[in-house]
Amino acid sequence: MTAYAVVIPTLVRDTLADCLAALAAATGPRPAEIVLVDDRPDATSEPLEHPLAVLGDLRGRTTVLRSRGRGPAAARNTGLRAVASPWIAFLDDDVQVGPHWCEQLAQDLADASPDTAGVQGVIAVPLAALTGAGTVLMWRAYRAGGPRAWALPGAVAATAAWAAYLAGQFTSFAPWLAPAVVVLTAAALALLLLARPGGRRAGGRLALGGLGAALAALLLAPSAWAVQVFAPSYSTSVMGAVGPSGTGRGFGAARFGRMAWAGGATSRQVARSGASGVARAGTAGRMGGFGGAASGGALTPAQQRLLAYTRAHDGSAAYVFATTSWSTASPYILAAGAKVLPIGGFSGRVPSPTENRFRHLVDSGEVRYVLLGGGRGRGVGAVPGGAAQGVSGDGTAAAQITAWVQAGCTKVPASAYGGSAATAGSPALSRRAAMTTVTGQTLYLCEPGT
């Protein structure tokens, strides 16, 4: 059985007791550890004895820590640093797991391959059921006649207008979509108006035809967006985004999920476990340069050349290279299946790997190359002039590793992997950036014993 810990950040709301009771009642392998992180800012707050009483025999495996009101992210990191189990499941204190959650989670973790860094649960929201129930109620009101009969045509018109408006913002994506929604909606409203009770042509077939056309109009746009997940151009979607990518008329569309990034391992989603996120312990995870994929999700020519170079020279290393920016790492992982080590995780502040652990990876030959700079987000990287972003006054593991790499590892000339070196007199040139690409990224070679 794969051991796992459960970390729950909490403000000790009334829902906490229900959360813990559901966890205690779930069947299957029990968590090896439960860490409750009390994030109430008041140091004199009452202890958590009452909610803990519902845990039963799990009480002895439970630890309570304080994070002093620093927010849920800091509370989760506090809990993560306190556990020894190889997997950590994160729950919120208003979540009630299902009766077989422990069993299903254990199965998901057992199915995870050795290079899987995280699995993600999906919380089911009954939107489809609510929509279906509302449609039935409006249909019955329509057939009954009277003022309430106008609720169905009105809802169809308003919803379809919004769908057509959204589809029209992205004219390069399925340009037929908005006109099709408009045509189907017009047909649906015409049939519903003709078949309304009390009308001259009231009848069941016309009404059913109107209802069918209305459902087609309302489902066409979201269906067209959803099926794009099967399109090759979306194979590198970083966080499950489907539908139009890029910007439309003045704004872009993006959907973000909670995904645990870690240790250069391939991310994987498992939908059954129902946790906010489950991450393998001991692993970790601005646009430009070698960061960010090309149009269509493929690697850019520059990225392909850099990947080919590191693969050709990585020897027996476990990772083709390490980097301190999640956006730099993700295209290589998603588009090429490359094992890239994102130091510092998504935020750049996750203490995994630590500096000592990273040095061990270098000494053991598991990491040879490190790519610093560029990227997007809060990761730490090299900037023109050679200083590491965040090193001064920043004690994160990513900042410490960046400083260590810059001080002890060897810069690889940009020309070796098809990059461009800054030239004399260039604003990007400094005493420590002669081999840095013009996009602000530098590849370092770290040998054992560095």
* pLDDT of amino acid 211: 92
Asked if omega into 353 is within 30° of 0 (cis), the reply is yes
- Using alpha carbons, list the distances in angstroms from residue 37 to 8, 74, 79: 6, 10, 6
* Share of residues in the chain with pLDDT > 70 (%): 71
Instruction: Say if residue 399's pLDDT is above 70.
Output: yes
What b-and-e string marks burial along 73-89, b requiring 16 or more CB atoms within 10 Å of the CB?
A: ebbbbbbbeebebebbb
Q: What is the pLDDT of residues 270-312, one digit of tens each?
A: 333 344 456 655 443 333 334 455 545 678 888 999 999 999 9
Phi, psi of 188 (to 5 degrees): -65, -45
Least confident of 51-65, 114-128, 203-217: 114-128
Higher pLDDT, 129 or 92: 92
- Residue-wise pLDDT for 182-240, tens only, equals 999 999 999 998 887 765 555 678 889 999 999 999 999 888 888 876 766 555 454 55
Nearest of 174, 206, 172 to residue 187 by alpha carbon: 206
* pLDDT for 428: 36
- Confidence grade of residue 247 (pLDDT, cut at 50, 70, 90): very low
The residue-averaged pLDDT of 410-430 equals 62
- Cβ neighbours of residue 84 under 8 Å, at least 6 residues apart? 5, 33, 281
Residue ranges of the domains in the chain? 4-113, 127-229, 284-445
In the prediction, which pLDDT does 199 show? 56
Give the tens place of pLDDT for each residue, 368-381.
Answer: 999 998 654 444 43
The reported pTM is 0.42
Please, are residues 331 and 305 in contact by the beta-carbon 8 Å criterion? no
Q: What is the per-residue pLDDT for 375? A: 55
Q: 350-385 in b/e burial notation, b at 16+ Cβ within 10 A?
A: bbbbebeebbebbeeebbbbbbbbbbebbbbbbbbe
Q: Which stretch of 129-138, 149-158, 312-321, 382-391 has the lowest confidence by average pLDDT?
A: 382-391
Q: Return mean pLDDT, the chain.
A: 77
Question: d(Cα 199, Cα 193) in Å, to the nearest integer?
Answer: 8
Query: What was the pLDDT predicted at 2?
Result: 84
Query: Which CATH number is correct for 4-113, 3.40.1160.10, 3.30.565.10, 3.90.550.10, 1.10.630.10?
Result: 3.90.550.10
Q: Taking residues 422-438, report their average pLDDT.
A: 36
User: CA dihedral defined by 130, 135, 137, 138, rounded to 10 degrees?
Assistant: 140
d(CA 220, CA 165): 13
For 92-234, list the strands marked E by DSSP: 118-119
Is pLDDT of 317 > 90? yes
Integer Cα distance of 371 and 46 in angstroms: 48
Alpha-carbon distances, residue 83 vs 37, 172, 259, 279, 424 (angstroms): 12, 48, 20, 12, 51
* Mean pLDDT of the region 398-408: 93
Q: Region 435-443: what's the mean pLDDT? A: 60
Query: Is 90 exceeded by the pLDDT of residue 1?
Result: no
- Residue 262 Ramachandran class (φ > 0 left, ψ -120 to 50 alpha, else beta): beta
Whole-number pLDDT of residue 204: 74
Rounded to whole angstroms, the Cα distance separating 90 from 400 reads 27
Residues 19-40, mean pLDDT to the nearest whole number: 93
Range picked from 22-26, 226-230, 438-442 for highest mean pLDDT: 22-26
CA dihedral (88, 89, 93, 95) in degrees, to 10, reads: 180
CB-CB contact of 241 with 87 (8 Å):
no
pLDDT tens-place string over residues 137-177: 999 999 888 889 999 999 999 999 999 998 888 877 788 99
Q: Do residues 314 and 296 touch, judged by C-beta distance below 8 A?
A: no
What separation in angstroms does the CA of 350 have from each of 34, 64, 78, 85, 125?
20, 21, 10, 17, 30
